[in-house]
Structures are given as C-alpha cells and as structure tokens.
Amino acid sequence: MPRAVLVLAALLVPALARGANPVPAHRAQGDLALAARDVLQRRCAACHTGSADPGKSKLALLDHARLTAKGRPVPAPELLLDLVKDGSMPPGNRAAPTAREVTALGAWVKAGAPEFPAAFDDAYVLRHVAADIERELPRNKLRYAGEYLRYASFAHLIRDGEPLPDVGALEAELNAAVSFATSRPEKLVAVDPVGLVFRIDLTRLNWRGSDLFARMSGAKTEGTYTGPASPFDLVLLEYPFAVRRVPGAATAPPLARFLSADNQVRPVPYVRGEWLTAALVQGKELTPLAQDLKSLAALTTALGRAAPPPAGHDARPLAGARPVVSAVPPLAALYASDVTPNPAPFALSVELVANGKPVAKVVEDAPYKLLATADRAVRFVLLKVLADGELRVQQVEGGDALRAKEPRELSPGGDGFATGPETLGFLLLACTDELPAPLVLRSRHADKHVWRFLLESSAKYPFDPGAVVRKWVPVLAGK
Ligand code: HEC
C-alpha cells in the first residue's frame, strides 16, 4: 500500500491509530486519575466528606489538593492505599474494593497521584478553558481574548456511579474526525490534567477565516458581513447542548470577552467532543456541515492570497434533519429541523394546506399555503429554503402575528405559494415578542454557496432564544 493511503487509513480507523501509537502522557495520567477517583467516589466518598460529624472523616478523599497536601507523616495517597490493603478501610461491613480496584489505586499512587477534580461539571471545564486562554494570551497578539481558541470536552461523560467511558477511544475518534475534515493529521492538545478538555486551534485548522460571507437582501448582495462567521461559527450555530449562564464567576474575564458577540456567533465556551465527532463525520463520509467547513477553509485560503474565489460544494438538503430540544436552542442551525426550547414556551404547529385542506405533499400547478397555529399570541418570521441551499426571508400577506389558538393561513398573496422543484421547505420561527429580521448570509464562493441566517439580538430586538420555537415544514412534491 502506498504511504499516503496507509496514513489516511490510520486517520480513518481510530482503533488502528491507537494501536499504532503509544498512549500519550496526558491519557496515561488521566486514565489513572479517572480510575482512582472512580474507586474513591464509589467506595469511600460517602463518609469522607470533609466533615467532623460522627462516622464521617475530615479527610475529603475527592479533594485532590487536600489529599496531596504536604505535611502528613505518611502522605494521604500512600496511607489510603495501606489502609485499603490491610482491610481497615472501608470500615465495618462496607463492601471492600475489588482486587482490580485496589490495583487501580496502587497504580495511581505509584504514578504520583495525578490530579482529578471533585466533580467533572461545567465549572471544571470552564476553569481549564479560562486558564488555557490566559496561558495563550501573552504568546499572541490578539484582538479578543481567545480569538482563535475553541474547545471540545468529554467531561460530561464522567458521571458518578456510572461506568467510565473509554476516553482514549473517544479522543482518537475526535482526532480522526478533525483530521478527516481538515485533510491534515491533527492531534488536539489536552488543556486539563485529566485529558478531557481539548483545545481547537482555529488558526492551525484554517477554521478561523473572516469576511467569508456577504449579507443578502433577496437575491442581491449588500456587502461583506464583518461579524463573527468563521467556519467554526457554523459548528456553534448547530450546537444543541449550549448551557444558559448567569453572569458571574463562570463568565469572569477572560471568559466574558471570549464569549462576547464580537468573537463568536453564540456564547458557547466548549462543545461536547463526541457531538463534534458526529457533526463532522458520519460513517466514512464527511457530513454536509464538514463539507461547508472545508469549502469555507478553501475560500479563506483563496481570499488570503487575493486569488479568485473558488466554487463551493453542492448544497445538501436540510430535509430529514432531526428535531432538537435544547436549553439554549440553536435557532439558526441548518442541519436541525424543529428546534424547541426546553421547557417549550408555547405550542406551535404548521402544516401545508391546499384549498383549505391539509396535504402531505404539494401537487404541480396547485398553489398551497401554510396553516400555522400557536396556543398563544405570537409574532413570527418565515424563511424559505431552496433546493440549492439558498435562504430567503419570505413575506406573507397580513402581517407577522398569530392570535392565540386561531389557525391562520400564511400566503405570499394571490392563490398561495406556487409549486416548483426549487422550494425545499420553510422555517417558521415564532416568539411572544417581536423577532429581529433574519440576517441572511451567502458565502463569497464564485458559485455553489454556503448559506446561513442569523437572528441577531440587538438593543431594539433583545429577544431570548429560549422564548423562540422553530418549525420546519418540508415541501414534498407528490401526485
Ligand atoms: C463508613 C464510613 C467510611 C468509609 C466507607 C470509608 N472510611 Fe476512611 N475513615 C472513616 C472514619 C470515620 C475515619 C477516621 C476519622 C477521620 O479520619 O476523620 C477514616 C479514616 C480514614 C483515613 C485516615 C484519615 C487520616 O486523616 O489519617 C484514611 C486514609 C481513609 N479513611 C481512607 C479510606 C478509603 C481509601 C476508603 C474507601 C476505600 C474509606 N476510607 C472508606 C470512615 C470511612
């Protein structure tokens, strides 16, 4: 086999890649820490809470800093191993650790008791994201804190009382997906001691491009869009697991600057690693989203060299995309269909009707309308999605309001929407408040564009994404 093919095969087959390479240091240390913490959490933590109450111990075994603090006659990690081995801990009739668990504790102590956190929560990830940005700041001249830095994390997969995931395999899959999507062998750098949080360096991956899109008004361009719309911003637009954050400790500088609207399209400090893998690669194929990134990376390169822009890739229909229920709904996702906040602020339904009757498919030469119903008074915006990926804000007769529980037929005028192969479907976004007009963006490719829309919150329309419900209405042609 030629060398290039071998390299590609290794990228595509994570297990092979892992087998061929020695376990990296962060993974070796991280796995020891994970395994030891898991034993301590299940067998010891109920009593070792750090409290002085009877039956409890002041030695909080999940508090790594205290556990490894200097000054004890016998360091706590060695002591706990001795007490477990001689059978005095756990005391009484509590289930003793298995031989395997004792081995895990022993290996961890022997390696110098590598660090673990008391909990693998959002705060853990944010702490290490913030620390990494601080470390990188002095090394680079940046406009914004963390301008080219993004992160992926597996910390949410570590749940107390549940089996530990194979983080090494997940990491290898993520590296393989990023390598495939960028056509360069990539190993993301771990930024936390357990090896769960990985830096995505947008500059290295050519996912940092700016000024890649033009603002659209109908079919006309209205100049370059200068807001955040890097290739990786497209990933953030799709992300369904964003967390609602209250201003405070979790968003202290430099995180606040990192998450600001000048720097990224949605305030998402990190994405789940296995979600990113699946968002880029499905089976042996790049996903449509990864193809968007690839064509935008090629555009970035061309614009950087002042070369004529290349053509993009063939647009891929949104039809079939899955519905999303989310705490912070990805309203402008293109590879999701219905998007509903959790909890849903109201019920919304939309269907196709022809001659006042619901239809599953539209028929040639028979105009159709959309029948929309909400269980309370809402305002809406409607977007038309065309087969080549083009997006258009669709005006309808009679304004942008739905009355509570009063079905309303939406039509551009005349008999309704004309049938034709070019319309893929409609996105209806509704909110109890007024919504901003969607900003439609088209990539500056010579042909075959990447299209996106944004709903920008402004002083005039300060809407809450958690109050917006989005419905996808595919327009299927039939007989
Ligand atoms: C049923 C409650 C309980 C469980 C379960 C338990 N311990 Fe303890 N442990 C205690 C108490 C009580 C003490 C003594 C009081 C103190 O240290 O504050 C103690 C003391 C210790 C000490 C000595 C503390 C010191 O500061 O010198 C170590 C080390 C220890 N335990 C390790 C473990 C380990 C490891 C496990 C799990 C395999 C475990 N214990 C499970 C209750 C428990």
- Contact between residue 363 and residue 333 where contact means Cβ atoms under 8 Å apart: no
pLDDT tens figures, 322-343: 999 999 999 999 999 999 999 9
| Domain range annotation of the chain | 3-110, 122-304, 323-474
pLDDT tens per residue, range 274-326: 999 999 999 999 999 999 999 999 999 999 999 999 999 998 777 678 999 99
Give me ligand 1 centre to Cα 55, in Å: 9
**pLDDT band with cut points at 50, 70 and 90 for residue 11:** very low
Tell me what the pLDDT averaged over the chain comes to: 91
Q: Which atom of ligand 1 is nearest to the CA of 46?
A: 5
Q: How large is the angle between the packed helices 273-280 and 231-238, nearest 10 degrees?
A: 110
Q: Is the pLDDT of residue 126 over 70?
A: yes
Share of the chain above pLDDT 90, in %: 78
Q: Evaluate if residue 15 carries a pLDDT over 50.
A: no
Tell me the C-alpha distance between 31 and 182, whole Å.
28
* Amino acid sitting at position 257: R
Q: Ligand 1: which residue has its CA nearest to atom 25?
A: 59
CA distance 79 to 236: 46
For the stretch 41-88, pLDDT in tens is 999 999 999 999 999 999 999 999 999 999 888 899 999 999 999 999
Instruction: Quote the pLDDT of residue 3.
Output: 45
**What separation in Å is there between the alpha carbon of 46 and the centre of ligand 1?**
10
Tens of pLDDT, residues 422-455: 899 999 999 999 899 999 999 999 999 999 999 9
Give residue-wise pLDDT tens across range 92-106.
889 999 999 999 999
E strands, 246-333, where?
A: 271-272, 281-282, 285-286, 322-326
Mean pLDDT, range 397-407, rounded to an integer: 97
pLDDT value at 18 more than 60: no
Cβ burial of 95 (10 Å; 0-12, 13-18, 19+) is exposed
Kindly tell me if the per-residue pLDDT of 19 is higher than 90.
Answer: no
17: pLDDT confidence band, cut at 50, 70 and 90? Answer: very low
Structure tokens at 166: 């194979």
Residues with CB under 6 A from ligand 1: 43-44, 46-48, 55, 57-59, 76, 79-80, 83-84, 89-92, 94, 97
User: Is the confidence at residue 151, as pLDDT, over 90?
Assistant: yes
At residue 248, the pLDDT reads 63
Q: Ligand 1: which atom is nearest the Cα of residue 97?
A: 38
Give helix 25-43 / helix 99-110 axis angle, nearest 10°: 130
Residue 319's pLDDT is what? 67
Q: Whose CA is nearest to atom 19 of ligand 1?
A: 57
- C-beta separation of 355 from 367 below 8 A: no
Looking at residue 237, its pLDDT comes to 97
Burial class (CB in 10 A: 0-12, 13-18, 19+), 180: buried
Question: Which DSSP string corresponds to 436-478?
Answer: PPPEEEEE--SSS--EEEE----SSS---GGGEEEEEEE--B-
- How open is the CA angle 167-181-14, to the nearest 5 degrees? 35
Q: Is the pLDDT of residue 14 over 60?
A: no
Tell me, yes or no, if the pTM score tops 0.75. Answer: yes
477 in Cβ contact with 419 (< 8 Å): yes
What gap in Å lies between CA 449 and CA 25, rounded to an integer? 43
Q: What is the mean pLDDT of residues 212-236?
A: 95
Check residue 247 and give its pLDDT.
Answer: 66
CA 361 → CA 319, 349, 369, 392, 395, distances in Å? 14, 17, 12, 21, 22
What digits encode the pLDDT tens for the residues 153-191? 999 999 999 999 999 999 999 999 999 999 999 999 999
Q: What percent of the chain has pLDDT over 70?
A: 94
What is the per-residue pLDDT for 327? Answer: 93
Handedness of CA 22, 26, 29, 34 (dihedral sign): negative
Tell me the helices (H) and strands (E) count for the chain, helix number first.
13, 21
Distance CA 45, CA 161 (A): 11
Q: How far is Cα 475 from Cα 312, in angstroms, rounded to an integer? A: 25
3-class state of residue 353 by DSSP:
strand
Residue whose CB lies within 8 A of the most ligand 1 atoms, among 39, 58, 59, for a mutation test: 59
Burial profile 199-233: b = 16 or more Cβ within 10 angstroms, e = fewer: bbbbeebbbbbeebbbbbeeeeeeeebebbbbbbb
According to DSSP, residue 362 is labeled: B
